[in-house]
Amino acid sequence: MNNFVTDLSARLDELRSQGQLRNFMAVEHQPGGDITVAGRRYLNLAGNDYLGLATDSALCAVFYGQQHNKNLLTSHGLGSTASRLMTGNTQVCALFEEELARFYQQEAALLFNSGYHLNVGLLPALSTKEDLILADKLCHASLIDGMRLSRAKVLRYPHLDYAAIERILARERERYRHVFLVSESIFSMDGDCADLVELVRLKEKWGAVLYLDEAHGVGIRGAGGRGLAEEQGVLKSIDLFIGTCGKAYGGVGAFVVAKRSVVDYLINTARPQIFSTGLPPVNVAWLHFVLKRLPRLAAERIRVAELSERLRQALRAEGLDTMGASNIVPVLIGDSSRTLAVAEEVRGQGYWVTAIRPPTVPQGTSRLRLSLNASMSWEMLAPLPRLIAQAMSKS
């Protein structure tokens, strides 16, 4: 045991020397989206509450003031009692899935405990050794782990390189029974968007199954908040539509929307679903509450988009390297230690920013990831580009 602990300590020292050591920090969330850390208040630029719903005290008061939600708390507390195949499939969970299916004009929906649970579970459940998974190189870690757990052949195409997909499928397609074409809609670290029209064309041409992770699209994109697939007009062409509830929904959980037979099969085969305790009813009630309001939040979606573009322009005006076309605005720095130093300097000015380092991003591409939400204003953000530029000049 002593040798084991010594070995782990040495590995931690190595991570520390590389500027890649991570630690938890206790955070208190404030109404309006700010956070308090160690007694100091910051503008939170590291969260994923894209519509500002989780910290909207007026909205939360409406939710908790509704009698049926009070009943859920008094009758169930915060537990669902078991996995959904046992006694954890509460009525509110079934209702939420029915509403999701109607919202997306699809046959069925299935709720999971988190996006990670879902992505780790779907590909191993649906694919076999006779299948091919073809995925964007910058897909999220949860998708990568799901691919690793599957028995299918896995190939990764260069980021957003649709010509590469065509070449790979021309060479490989006839060798496999099914091909799963896997992509995010908005990529979580670069903030850039997939060409979903082209992905749909490719999946139809080659007889593939299109698996789209809309974790960063649902709620914040599309006229009705259905995601980038709605915005690009291809919603009905997505075979496996994945959404998360831990971001724009301001809650917890994730869902897949698909044909009824797909959902029924996943109920019987997706291990994270089968072997996890169901989400507490009050959490699912919040998701249902938010879902009904998403179509009415178009003004918030527009405001976030305008703020994001204005911030990108201001960052570039300061000579900073940024990219993307979403409310995720990265500032590329490169070296991990330098990125940590810049983040610390900017935090000193009241902006909570996080240094994103390997293995989350490739070596040499460490960055600040600025995440904007509907509770922010330009007056809050205007000083930030200059502060980042000054911090980089010092590091």
Which residues are known catalytic residues?
Answer: 48, 140, 184, 188, 213, 216, 247
| Beta bridge partner(s), residue 334 | 366
Q: Which residue's structure tokens are 């990831």? A: 369
